[in-house]
Amino acid sequence: MTPAPETPVTARSAALALGDDALVLSHRLGEWAGHAPALEEEVALANIALDLLGQARVLLSMVGDEDELAYLREERAFRNLQLVEQPNGDFAHTIVRQLYFSTYQHLLYAQLAAGDGPFAPLAAKAVKEVAYHRDHAEQWTLRLGDGTDVSHERMRRACDALWRFTGEMFQPVEGLDADWAGMEADWLKSVGAVLGRATLAVPEGPRTGAWSAGAGRQGLHTEPFGRMLAEMQHLHRSHPGASW
Amino acid sequence: MATAAAQSTSRSPASGAQGTVDTAVYERTFDAAVAADERIEPRDWMPDAYRATLIRQIAQHAHSEIIGMQPEANWITRAPSLRRKAILMAKVQDEAGHGLYLYSAAETLGTSREELLDKLHSGRQKYSSIFNYPTLTWADVGAIGWLVDGAAITNQVPLCRCSYGPYARAMVRICKEESFHQRQGYELLHALSRGTPEQHAMAQDAVDRWWWPSLMMFGPPDDESQHSAQSMAWKIKRHSNDELRQRFVDICVPQAESLGLTLPDPDLRWNEEHGHHDFGTIDWSEFWEVLKGNGPCNEQRITQRRRAHDEGAWVREAAAAHAAKHTAGTRPGGTGGAQA
């Protein structure tokens, strides 16, 4: 594949990491189409998925051909966080995944937008989209956490189940100039406050482990990811060299 | 329209005239408004049967948008390029939006979205029979855009002049987006048709499978259409099923040629005398079977819709419970609660 020459070499691995996050989460949200709990959520989830796909296309194009990168890499070459590849589960799982990720993405893009690095133009546009994603996730966290006993319990389980994937977000990414420790502190504060307002406890489990810390960024993924890629890439791979 | 607004008081039983003017006067005013091509608005008096017909038609239209998401969403996760994936996601999102407009239009007639969804889920209201066909290849996404959306537009553009205002206005917005989808579908097929031999074959196969079901979208022949005469008299409908079907065939033939694809009808030919294309006989037995619930995907479509609704019940209940708690808290004198 041909790297886009204008992107500095050090920025390419960062573009791949951020692009893969957006691509993979967009794909997961796309799986909701036709299955959402209300028509308004069909619109909202598709909207978020589209924003993320748009970001992914810009970021992957900074590295090379977007379709070659999306459809012809194998699992071990993807650099996304393990968090975003997690299956949708129930609506609570999807919302918690959104809460954890969009809070992180919003903090990161706000920093990148304020800087003058190669990601500043993308981040300046994306940070507005991501602010909306974050608001959507926070509002649903409040509704579900502080809704019924059933929704509260489902949220509790989802918060716990996804907690262990959150440490990876703050492992520094090569080529990204950001205050990782400061971001992590802000993230913990913000997510903790939202969970508190939603009457949910901040999970107690570990956020980093020998396996999960930084694993996705190194191409070490969880099992559901391979199947996701098999579905995503099947048609493209079946017609080598074709254009669509 | 200013005149319609001014006259709406005289057509409205709520205007104070109630009890002193008998139904015959309302009926004459309604008929005169329809005859003068004025829009009937939600607060105007209207015959019960007009209201019932509109609820049935708008609901069926809304249901079709919602069920119609399924055959296309079936390909979102397998779309072969990121550009195509974005286009498809945006389209499926638009369809959910169209469903929302249409349920709102139906609600102006005194029903509710919940009630209409319940009728869809229990099979008491229908959706377009076209969505009971499966999307078996990527090219089906293009065939749906070109043929199914094309047929829908041919049907729906005249509805922009429908006598019921909220429906007509919803159709103006919907038709704009549908035309865009239709062009994208055509462009998708065009790319396949000019692509590799395998892609061309995929496109032709999709058109072969979707052509006849698309012609069935215009409904039964005029002499078997039970609602047509009344709907045309009320100016809900402006053209007959067969007229619209003919118009669609005439539009599609040159488009198929420029796509480099054939339409699966050996009897299709230009008729110099009539200035239209003659075409073969539709298999109406298939149409009625699909309508009765015996099409290839009827069971699957409604099961998925019901499952999404049932599995989402706890989410909707949580939202309602949360709103109830926090609405109470924001009342004057209430304690706490987020003030917007």
pLDDT at B76: 98
pLDDT at A4: 58
- Residue B69: list chain A partners with CB under 8 A: 33-34, 42
pLDDT at B336: 42
pLDDT category, B210, cuts 50, 70, 90? very high
pLDDT at B334: 42
Q: Which residues 132-161 of B are in CB contact (within 8 Å) with A?
A: 138
Distance (Å, rounded) from C-alpha A58 to C-alpha A70?
A: 12
Shortest CA distance from B188: residue in chain A: A244
pLDDT at A94: 98
Predicted interface score ipTM higher than 0.85:
yes
Is A40 an interface residue toward B (CB < 8 Å)?
yes
Picking from B159, B125, B135, the residue whose alpha carbon sits closest to that of residue B305 is B125
Q: What is the pLDDT of residues A75-108, one digit of tens each?
A: 999 999 999 999 999 999 999 999 999 999 999 9
Q: Are A230 and A189 in contact (CB under 8 A)?
A: no
Contact A30 B90 (CB under 8 A): no
Report whether pLDDT(B338) > 50: no
Amino acid identity at B123: G
- Residue B92: list chain A partners with CB under 8 A: 33-34, 42, 46
Where chain A has pLDDT below 70, the residues are 1-6, 209-213
Q: What is the pLDDT of residues A121-148, one digit of tens each?
A: 999 999 999 999 999 999 999 999 999 9
pLDDT at B2: 39
Contact A147 B317 (CB under 8 A): yes
Which of A23, A148, A238 should one mutate to test binding to chain B, selecting the residue with the greatest count of B CBs within 10 A?
A: A148
Report whether pLDDT(B60) > 70: yes
Distance from chain centroid for Cα B111: 18
Mean pLDDT of B297-326: 97
Report whether pLDDT(B128) > 50: yes
Distance (Å, rounded) from C-alpha B132 to C-alpha B295?
A: 6
Q: Calculate the average pLDDT of chain B.
A: 91
Report whether pLDDT(B206) > 50: yes
SS3 of B137-177: the string is CCHHHHHHHHHHHHHHHHHHHHHHHCCEHHHHHHHHHHHHH
Integer angstrom CA distances of residue B24 from A41, B28, B128 = 46, 6, 36
Phi, psi of B59 (to 5 degrees): -60, -45
Mean pLDDT of B57-84: 98
Is B89 an interface residue toward A (CB < 8 Å)?
yes
Is A148 an interface residue toward B (CB < 8 Å)?
yes
CA angle B120, B124, B130 (to 5 degrees): 60
Contact A148 B84 (CB under 8 A): no
Most confident of the following: A172-176, B1-5, B242-246: B242-246
Contact B315 A38 (CB under 8 A): yes
